[in-house]
Amino acid sequence: MTHTRYIKGILLVATFIFCGIMNAAPVTKRPPLPVVDNGSPIIGGAHERSEQSRKAQPATAPQKTATAPQKPAIHENSDKGPAHVPSKGSVNKTVPATVDTKRPAPYAPAKPAPTSQEHAAPKSTPRQTPAAKPAAAYKPVPLTFPEISHKTRKYYDLKKIAARYNFHVVEGKDHDLRVLTLVTQRKETLVFTEKKPLFLIGNLHASLSYPVVYEKGRYLLEKTDYSEFIEPLLRTTLLPRRKIKNIVIDAGHGGKDQGASSGKILEKNLNLLMARKIAAILRIRGYQVSMTRTGDKTITLQERCDFATKKKPDLFLSIHCNSAEDASISGIEVFLANPPDVPSFGTTNIGKKGAATPFQQTSALWAFYTQKALLNATKATDRGIKRKQFKVIIDTPSPALLVELGFISNKDELQNLQKKDYQDKLADAICDSIDKLSKTLKPQNK
């Protein structure tokens, strides 16, 4: 493992008890949403609320405790693979990406990035997607709102978003910071805190690319944080329907690249063990599974991406275990690729690379399903859902996640990770979330 310097200043260990003062959402009649969500939105849903249900809103929001994502783990500044093997001072070493420029980009193209300063980002052109999926299959009707300029970015007014979804709005405070809670018709919550680049959905933490801004009575959410991350959770009909059949499972590290270690316990071995378990369960459930490695073999990040490109999977999942210098840190986190033109988690630098919109949005929903299932199954600490430029999830031609199943640097978590029961719980949870995604994305009329 390399010893990457932590990005300081994101130690947002703010545990707050939130008692809001009701501030009812406007009850003006709005036109129906362009798409009625009949999928499985993570919370709420996009149905127009009836007058009756508006009146039935609670006087106060449910009490909410939010613990923000914490100290970054060692892994978080690595590039997941040979770039963070024990390679002596390879902190900023990255594996250059190569993109097959012959492949057309049938989906809506990723936004071009104006600048690239991300030192850790591989240099390459924006992501291309394979030819397998016809462009006609993807016709999202995203909701848009009046754009508000703040610094160099465009934002949406969260209260306007809430009104459109018929969410109840509750304003409160966490010490000196303003907190906006959106309560869905099912009494589920989305919590935003000014100046913080994160939100809570139900009890799950997720990191935004930009902090929420409070300005003149408005709470501003950066536009792509809404459209690429939050909207797919609220309106699953936005996502391209697809049959989930082929899945690539990537056991992180291998061979000379041990990953993290704790005594004789090596991350590469745990990753492979978990990857095999997951693959076995998925096969029993009828999926076609390919593994980037089935033994203790050294493979580069590029080879993993090339493998996935060849397999044309419907989903790509990379399995890792985490490590931190601070042995008290524990928990589970799930990474998806960030969109282009926004900072990778843990940095303020904007890189050119990122996942194309349909992959990004599908990965967002899958990440929530996965993190929710993993935490429910294990009761582990929630380290949040994060978006980062890890090569294996940026350069694979499908929705892609990288999961960190626990910290082998934490004594208790390491013990758990070695127990068959606990491993089975993790594997089942991951497979259940794939089943759930598969059900949500199931093509209609088939």
Query: Which positions lie near Zn ion, rule CB under 5 A?
Result: 252, 259, 320
Do the Cβ atoms of 191 and 210 come closer than 8 Å? no
259 vs 406, which CB is nearer to Zn ion? 259
CB atoms within 10 A of CB 426: 25
* Buried-exposed string 53-88: b where 16+ CB fall within 10 A, e elsewhere: eeeebeebbeebebbbbbbbbbbbbbbbbbbbbeee
- Minimum Å gap between C-beta 437 and Zn ion is 23
- Minimum Å gap between C-beta 95 and Zn ion is 14
173 vs 297, which CB is nearer to Zn ion? 297
252 vs 313, which CB is nearer to Zn ion? 252
Count Cα atoms within 13 angstroms, Cβ side, for 136: 0
Rounded CA separation 191/62 (Å): 11
- Minimum Å gap between C-beta 175 and Zn ion is 36
The strand pair at 198-201 and 189-193 is best described as antiparallel
- Minimum Å gap between C-beta 322 and Zn ion is 7
- Minimum Å gap between C-beta 78 and Zn ion is 7
- Minimum Å gap between C-beta 401 and Zn ion is 14
201 vs 426, which CB is nearer to Zn ion? 426
320 pairs with which residues across the strands? 404
Q: Is the dihedral of CA 219, 222, 227, 233 positive or negative?
A: negative
Q: Would you state the structure tokens that stand for residue 361, as one six-digit string?
A: 């949005």
Best CA proximity match to 190, nearest among 35, 349, 33, 43: 43
Rounded CA separation 238/144 (Å): 13
- Minimum Å gap between C-beta 266 and Zn ion is 10
- Minimum Å gap between C-beta 257 and Zn ion is 9
Nearest residue to Zn ion by CB is 320
220 vs 266, which CB is nearer to Zn ion? 266
Do the Cβ atoms of 101 and 74 come closer than 8 Å? no
Rounded CA separation 352/169 (Å): 36
20 vs 252, which CB is nearer to Zn ion? 252
323 vs 357, which CB is nearer to Zn ion? 323
259 vs 339, which CB is nearer to Zn ion? 259
Sheet with 288-291, side-by-side order of all strands: 21-22, 168-174, 177-183, 189-193, 198-201, 204-207, 382-387, 332-336, 400-407, 315-322, 246-251, 288-291
- Minimum Å gap between C-beta 375 and Zn ion is 20
254 vs 259, which CB is nearer to Zn ion? 259
191 vs 334, which CB is nearer to Zn ion? 334
Count Cα atoms within 13 angstroms, Cβ side, for 398: 27
CA-to-CA separations, 429 to 10, 332, 403, 414, 432, in angstroms, rounded: 29, 12, 12, 18, 5
Backbone phi, then psi, for 16, in 5-degree steps?
-125, 145
- Minimum Å gap between C-beta 434 and Zn ion is 21
First vs last C-alpha separation in the chain = 47
